[in-house]
Structure 1
Amino acid sequence: MTETPPQTRAKSHPVLIGLGSFLLAIILLIIFWSWDWFVPLVNSRASAILHRKTTIEHLHVALGRVTTIRVENLKIEQPKTFAQEKNLFAESKELAVSVDVWSYLWHRALHIPLIALTDPKADILARKNGENNYTFTEDGKPAPANEKKTDQASSLPDIGELRITNGALHVRHDPLQADMQMGVETTRPEGNNRGSLRLTAKGRYAQQPITARFVGGTVLSFVADKEPYPVDLFVQNGPTTATLKGDVVHPLTLGGARLKLHFAGPDMSLLYPLTGVPIPRTPAYSIAGTLNYARDHIVFKDFEGKMGTSDIGGTIEVNPHEKPMSVQANLHSKQVNLVDLGGFIGAKPNKTKAEEKAEAKSNTVLPDTPINIPKLNAVNAHVTYRGAHIENQKVPLDNIDAEFFVTDGAIDLKRLNFAVGQGTLASSATLKPDGKLFDTTARIDFARIDLSRIMQATADSKAQGIIGGHMTLKAKGNSIASLMAAGNGGLTLVLDQGGDITAILPNVLGLQLANAVLSALGLPSHTDIRCFIADMPLRNGIVSTNTLLLETGEARTLGKGTINFRTNKLDYALTTRSQKPTIASLPGAFHITGPIKSPTVLPGAEILGRAAAATGLGFVFPPLALLPTIQIGVGDKSLCSRAVQEVNTNPAAGIAPGALSHARGSAGKQKVPSSTKTRTVDDKKAASSQNKKTGQKHMTPAEVRAAWEAKLKK
């Protein structure tokens, strides 16, 4: 038997032992290997990157050509600035990520076939001071612009599928006054079905309850940007509802969209929190159109719908990237009711019961809704609007043509024109912000407006005539009422061939007041208005009277007094005199006083005494300087034009016209004929003699009022 030399055994033994030990170590490492050994390293690196404590409980790696990394019980705490919050920033029962290692090694392309989240939860918060918990910086504020990546889309990896199971999201965004709970689910791609993302939301947005449902393409198809991204959205925010359906083309590069938008609600002003575009109050509406967008603007085009009883359509283009936001709107209506546009001039469509009660108690007759300056500062706008046919229960006109600009809070109304038969009601205005007020300049021109066209909606109204003139206003205020209360300017108005007086006054003044005025005037129950002229300046909110003339077939009535828009009160007197010898002299002056909304008609004592007091004969008739306004406004062959010339050359019934006021800006004053002065003196003597003959005694206001009420009851 041959024995192995001892030297040979000794030399081979250490090698075998080393090899065996190495193999044994590998076997033991394979048997007892745990990826959890790397958990502390993963936690440390993730916390440093996210700037908040991040932990996982377990780490699993399945090696292969496509390697899958899976973590359990992922928890991401709130950043330091939100440490007092009870909920975690994010957590997930399981997160799995598959990586195509082969693609990366050979092509240096990072392809991630799958990211899967099981039971993920997130708590997204934003404060009014600009801090939020979803910006991964030290202080929770957005990173400086120079630190942001300019092309985020190009840096994103190629991700095949993002799978979310039973996701829950809480969003509280204080600047938007939003607090919502959201559910998030995805469906898997199958065949031609690329899968979908489904969201549900419930909570509050802009201090209104909100409910939303969204079904779209997967998040990754949005990121991949290779195919049109499908969108199906329903939102109900308070009483406002909106639906959006269609495709978004190249969503990351803003390539465009094919979306149908429909929204409806009781008031368009409620859209401001949703759109950022300030709109005045409106009646209920329902509008649908096509929504498209590009890199620098959003277009809502070819929309049609209803607003109140009016139809509305057109195109609106918004550039949300400009500060303030830029809006271009080209709007039109086939038929519009002016009541539906009331919110655009400070009126209140769809008044609440509380507003109606408050309005009934108020003495203010003009809209006092403040113009919202902060909202105007939120947008620069250019708006054109044309209504082909206007219909209103109180003021039916023919059409409307308007254009205005809003620039840095200032309003420039280029035109607001109404066609009325063969005439035009044209207006323009500028409103420049001055603190909480607007420095306002406005002008309205009346040219040959057919009164019957305006009054035609009134049942059985035979009102007719041609209206001409103009109105100017310069003031500071924040509503129509406040502007008039502080205004300067005036009104010059002519009504030619006005038709039956009983067809006009009840519609203008109201039935009760009109009947009292007609009774006080002593005019026949039916008489034609040949001419009405009003030339009334406005100074610091108070309207005074240069001229107020009402001429009928039987008499002339002259007015004198003030309308105070500061106190909303009237202090006016009217005096009527006969023009024909066959008509008995009509009574003297009577007064209209009290609130503009409900004034009191109270006659002077000479009316009740049936004595024609001669002291009321010194009238101030319309000046010849009004003839150009009359001729342009109603035509140079008008009865008013003849009346002005007649009353200045041959006063009716021997009544002296008195001193004539001169045209604005004229150098001198017109001379009063000496015969006029003589007649005025004789009139005063006659008045004294007449008073002595009749034995008229002075009556107290209470006696006058009682006698007048008794007269009206007869």
Structure 2
Amino acid sequence: MMSLFKKSGTSGTNRWQSWPMLILYIFAAIIVFLILFARGDWFIPLVEKQASAALGRKVTIEHLHLRPWRTTSLEVEGLRIAQPDAFKDRKNDFVSIKDILVSFDVWRYLTGHGKELPLIRIDTPRADLASKADGTANYQFSDSSKPAPKDEKPFDPSSLPKIGDLIVSDGKINVALAKPKADMEVAIATSDPRQDGDRDILIKAQGRYDNAPITAQVKAGSLKDLTHETRPYPIEARIDNGPTRVDLKGVVKDPLHFKGTDLLLHFSGPDMALLYGLTGIPIPHTPPFDVKGQLAYSAEMIRFSNFAGRMGNSDIGGTIAVSPRDKPPYVDARLHSKNVDLADLGGFIGTKPGKAEDKAQAQRGKFLPADPINIPKLNAVNAHLVYHGDHIQNKNTPFDNINADVIIDHGAIDIKRLSYAIGSGELFLKGTLKPAGSKQFAANIAVDAKSLPLGKLLQGLGGKDSEGRMGGHAKLSARGNSIASLLGNGDGGVSLVIDRGGEITALLPNLLGLKLGSALLSALGLPEKTDLKCFVADLPLNNGVLSTRAFLLQTDDTRTLGGGTINLRSEKLDYHVTTRSTSFSILSLPGKVNITGSLRAPSVLPGAEIIGRAAATAALAAAFPPALVLPTIQFGVGKGSQCEQALNDVSIHPASGAAPSLGKKQVRPNVKAPQHKRPDSAEKVHQVWMKRLETQHKATR
């Protein structure tokens, strides 16, 4: 077959022996034919038909010029691409270009050296990009609902042609996107030639994005740099979106193959929550911030690493990694602070940082916060957040450090750990918040307070020093969207113990709040300098109502028993306490004192004084069943303590399901607490009570 294409010469050495040479000559003959017998405009109807079918919208061309040679150029004048049918209401064409010239190195391609476009020149390009709230967009060219072909090969960057010189003049793009609420104009052009002859790509944008003004300036390397495998691609950008500023500077190594970056990223602004529109990652509200770090990316992971900066009064640093291919994206954040102000973390626990809610609650006439828990767009990402604050510097808090480990999985929050060190003690919280409807959460939360030093707590609350300790547990199972609604619908309970609490007039107002603590002090009728020896409370919670299983407050000279309910839904009190002397006395038993009204403004209504031991003890037994449940006991607060039996009973049957802990000094009894049977008559009550008082009087002499 090859012999048909041999040509003999005088030397016998010139031969056409290869197919590429044959193709080249045939192509040359066609080009000569086109030059001699055809004009480019003759092909316009064919090109318009094929392009319209491929793009799904009408394509028109005014003039078409083909200049074949070793480097063949194709020039199109007056190119217009209409909007698709769903966007016919747009005033401008989807794309229009005054003039576009593309040259192709035919010889390089025929000799097997690949594809190369030595020159692309675009004059006055215009584009109008738009999307609707339902997700449809005029820049979509295929039906995304159809599955991709099984034999479809992944994109290969090496298949792209090499680009020589790109020249863009007076390019403008109108962008109107519904979901990010963007409406802006983007100007695109290329710079004058650099020393190496290449032209940088210059982009400027102005308009609105995410309901805020936006301006952007981007300077990037040439198109030749972008497709060069060994030359780093430089990029420099500044974006101002409302009050938020983003600066980016560095190089991308072979960006088409994702071979790494050396980029410095700088974020600053008044609130990190405003970054959602730019990053797509929901971040809780924060105080003003300024952070800077290294940005690296690959096809699987975008990483903002070794960043450091300020957030309010706190320093902040760490690494945030995002897997953009996951649906929803997965975010792994490992953060730390050397010095942290807890007010700066308010957005991460459901309130705006530093926000004082007292005024709003006072206007509602309520005590418990009713603002919806501020949790941002949880379904937008799955995330794992680990945070450690070395030192808590806010003088208004008693906490020394903070540790958090939180997982967000398809809208559910799993708090693996949220703990605070307080001196030698620890406050530990864990639980889950799962979506329950569009605006509510199903909450299951447990809090453990272990050996908390009261002196540290009171110091943070502005109270006086104390050598005492606090231990306790609380559980809550509820549905709601605020602290008030969760407590108002909750089940669970609170078990609390305070040992050697210090001066009671300083302790109660600080721990319970000024008005409620003062009301309780008024009901107790204790002298100002009275020291608290022991306090025990075991309060079951049922459908938002705290009832009393045990309530004991012990001082040097008095014992107070309490009973009643606290309705957390209506924030109403229906409580009563009775204080009596612990020494043997016949006529020193005061009557019941009622604490009623609201949690925000409680009132104290003393009852008529009861005269006589029998009547007093009978009324006490009838009104306060805990009197028979809280005899003298021993529970790690000193042998012979007035609180041991009460603590023992709380340990065996706690409302919260777990016994309070006061640390290493706690000694759990070896015997089960006695089961006290309530007497049938006032006389039997009187006899039992008098016998206990006599035994107690002998033990304390």
For residues 200 and 414 of structure 1, do their structure 2 counterparts lie closer, same or farther at Cα, with a shift above 3 Å needed? same
Identical counterparts, % of pairs: 46
Partner of 1:411: 413
1:394 maps to amino acid:
N
2:256 pairs with 1:252:
yes
2:95 alignment counterpart? 90
CA apart distance, 1:542: 0.6
State the Cα deviation string for residues 336-393 of structure 1 (Å, max 9, x = none).
22222222222232549xx775433234444444457882222222221111112334
The secondary structure found in structure 1 opposite 2:362 is helix
Q: Specify whether residues 42 and 526 from structure 1 end up closer, same or farther in structure 2 by C-alpha distance, changes over 3 A only.
A: same
1:18 corresponds in structure 2 to none
- Per the alignment, do residues 624 and 644 of structure 1 end up closer, same or farther by CA in structure 2, a change over 3 Å counting? farther
Partner of 1:105: 110
The aligned residue for residue 184 of structure 2 is 180
Question: What residue in structure 2 maps to residue 7 of structure 1?
Answer: none
Question: For residue 16 of structure 2, what is the aligned residue in structure 1?
Answer: none
In 2, Cα distance between equivalents of 1:670 and 1:542: 26
The match for 1:399 among 398, 401, 405 is 401
Does residue 596 of the first structure (1) align with residue 599 of the second (2)? yes
Select between 214-223 and 60-69 the one with higher mean Cα deviation: 60-69
What is the CA deviation profile of residues 133-154 of structure 1, one whole-angstrom value per residue up to 9, with x for unaligned ones?
Answer: 22334x7x57742286522523
Q: Please list, as runs of the form range in 1=range in 2, the aligned pairs for 1:448-467 lying within 5 A after superposition.
A: 448-459=451-462, 461-467=464-470
**Paired AA for residue 538 in structure 1:** L
Deviation at 1:251, TM superposition (A): 1.4
Cα-to-partner distance string for 1:422-442 (whole Å, 9 max, x where unaligned) = 111122112333334333322
Cα deviation per residue 1:433-466 (whole Å; 9 max; x = unaligned)? 3334333322111111001112213446334520
Residues 461-517 of structure 1: per-residue CA shift (max 9 Å, x gap) = 334520012111222333333221121111111111111122222323444554454
Does the aligned pair in 1 maintain the 2:589–2:616 contact within 8 Å?
Answer: no
| CA deviation profile, 1:201-250 (whole Å, cap 9, x unmatched) | 12222233222221111244223444222121222223322212111122
Deviation at 1:538, TM superposition (A): 0.6
Aligned equivalents of 2:94 and 2:619: distance in 1?
87
Query: Which amino acid in structure 2 is aligned with residue 73 of structure 1?
Result: G
The counterpart of 2:429, out of the listed 417, 427, 430, is: 427
Unpaired runs of 5+ residues, structure 2, are 1-33, 658-670, 690-701
In the alignment, the residues of structure 1 paired with residue 651 and residue 451 of structure 2 have an alpha-carbon distance, to the nearest angstrom, of: 25
- Is the 2:495–2:650 Cα contact (8 Å) retained in structure 1? no
The CA distance in 1 between the partners of 2:632 and 2:231, in whole Å, is 73
> For the residues of structure 1 that align with 2:146 and 2:678, how far apart are their CA atoms?
86
* 2-structure distance, mates of 1:457, 1:507: 10
Alignment of 1:114 onto 2:114: no
Aligned twin of 2:570 = 567
Structure 1 distance, partners of 2:121, 2:628, is 89
SS in 2 for 1:258: strand
Question: Cα 1:472–1:360, aligned 2, differ >3 Å: closer, same or farther?
Answer: same
Work out the CA distance in 2 between the residues paired with 1:517 and 1:596. 12
* 1:551 Cα deviation after fit: 1.3
Contact 2:593/2:606, CA 8 A, preserved across alignment: yes
Q: Choose from 486, 489, 494 the match for 1:486.
A: 489
3-state SS of 1:88 partner: coil
Per the TM alignment, residue 89 of structure 1 is displaced from its structure 2 partner at its CA by 0.9
What CA deviation, in whole Å up to 9, does each residue of 1:567-603 have, x standing for no partner? 1222222222223469994753333222222323333
Pair 1:122–1:459, CA change in 2 (3 A):
same
**Match status 1:316 vs 2:315:** no
Name the TM-score, length of structure 2 as normaliser: 0.81
Aligned match of 2:77: 72
- 1:532–1:551 CA contact under 8 A, matched in 2: yes
Which residue of the partner structure matches residue 283 of structure 1?
287
Do structure 1's residue 382 and structure 2's residue 384 form an aligned pair?
yes
Which moved further from structure 2: 320-329 or 575-584? 575-584
Indicate if the aligned counterparts of 2:343 and 2:354 stay in contact, CA closer than 8 A: no
Amino acid of the residue matched to residue 402 of structure 1?
A: A
**Residues 248, 363 of structure 1: alpha-carbon distance in 2 compared, 3 angstrom cutoff:** farther
Could you say which residue in structure 1 is the equivalent of 2:511?
Answer: 508
Alignment partner of 1:334 out of 316, 320, 338: 338
User: Aligned residue for 1:644?
Assistant: 643
Summarize the Cα distance change of 1:226–1:582 in structure 2 as closer, same or farther, 3 Å threshold. Answer: same
Distance 1:647 1:310, change over 3 A: closer
How far apart, CA to CA, are the structure 1 residues paired with 2:601 and 2:219? 59
Aligned partners of 1:78 and 1:470: how far apart in 2? 65
| Contact 1:546–1:661, Cα closer than 8 Å, also in 2 | no
Residues 647 and 243 (structure 1 numbering): CA distance in 2 closer, same or farther, change over 3 Å?
A: closer
Q: Indicate if the aligned counterparts of 1:243 and 1:262 stay in contact, CA closer than 8 A.
A: yes
Report the counterpart of residue 159 of structure 1 in structure 2: 163
Question: Which residue pairs with 1:518 in the alignment?
Answer: 521
- Measured after TM superposition, the shift of residue 53 of structure 1 is 2.1
Moved more, 543-552 or 122-131: 122-131
Change in Cα spacing, 1:624 to 1:589, as seen in structure 2 (3 Å) is closer
Q: Which residue type is aligned with residue 531 of structure 1?
A: C
Question: Shift of the alpha carbon at 1:545?
Answer: 1.0
C-alpha distance in structure 2 between counterparts of 1:676 and 1:419, whole Å: 50
Q: CA deviation at 1:124?
A: 1.2
Give the direction of change, closer, same or farther, for the CA distance of 1:401–1:498 in structure 2 (3 Å limit). Answer: same
- Measure the CA separation in 2 of the matches of 1:622 and 1:382: 49
Candidates 222, 236, 242, aligned match of 2:226: 222
Cα displacement (A) at 1:59: 3.0
Partner SS state of residue 216, structure 2? strand
Partner residue in 2 for 1:52: 57
**Contact 1:430–1:442 under 8 Å retained in 2:** yes
| Cα distance in 2, alignment partners of residues 553 and 128 from structure 1 | 71
**Mapped partners of 1:617, 1:420: distance in 2:** 39
Quick check: 1:202 aligned with 2:206? yes
The answer as to whether partners of 1:623 and 1:660 remain within 8 angstroms in 2 is no
> In structure 2, do the counterparts of structure 1 residues 157 and 674 end up closer, same or farther at CA, with 3 Å as the change threshold?
closer
Gaps of 5+ in 1: 1-28, 650-658, 685-714
Number of paired residues? 635
* Structure richer in helix, relative to its length: 1
Q: Does 1:663 align with 2:653?
A: yes
1:113-136: per-residue Cα shift (whole Å, max 9, x none)? 111111111111222334322233
User: CA 1:566–1:682 in 2, change beyond 3 Å: closer, same or farther?
Assistant: same
- What residue identity is the alignment partner of 1:359? Q
Cα distance in 2 for residues equivalent to 1:514 and 1:663: 27
Letter in 2 for 1:47: S
Change (3 A) 1:30 1:471: closer
Aligned counterparts of 1:330 and 1:637: Cα–Cα separation in 2? 41
Corresponding position of 2:129: 124
**Deviation (angstroms), 1:646:** 7.5
The 2-side partners of 1:148 and 1:403 are apart by: 42
Equivalent residue number for residue 710 of structure 1: none
1:133 match: secondary structure: coil
Higher mean alpha-carbon deviation, 587-596 vs 424-433, is at 587-596
Deviates more, 1:489-498 or 1:593-602: 593-602
Question: Which SS does the other structure have where 1:389 is aligned?
Answer: strand
Which residue number corresponds to residue 475 of structure 2? 472
Structure 2 partner of 1:441? 444
1: CA distance between counterparts of 2:620 and 2:679?
A: 17
Write the distance in 2 (CA, Å) between the matches of 1:399 and 1:359. 29
Query: What are the superposed Cα offsets for residues 17-42 of structure 1, whole Å, 9 maximum, x if unpaired?
Result: xxxxxxxxxxxx99998544444444
Greater CA deviation, 302-311 or 577-586?
A: 577-586
In structure 1, distance between residues paired with 2:647 and 2:67: 110
Q: Distance in 1 between matches of 2:200 and 2:419?
A: 52
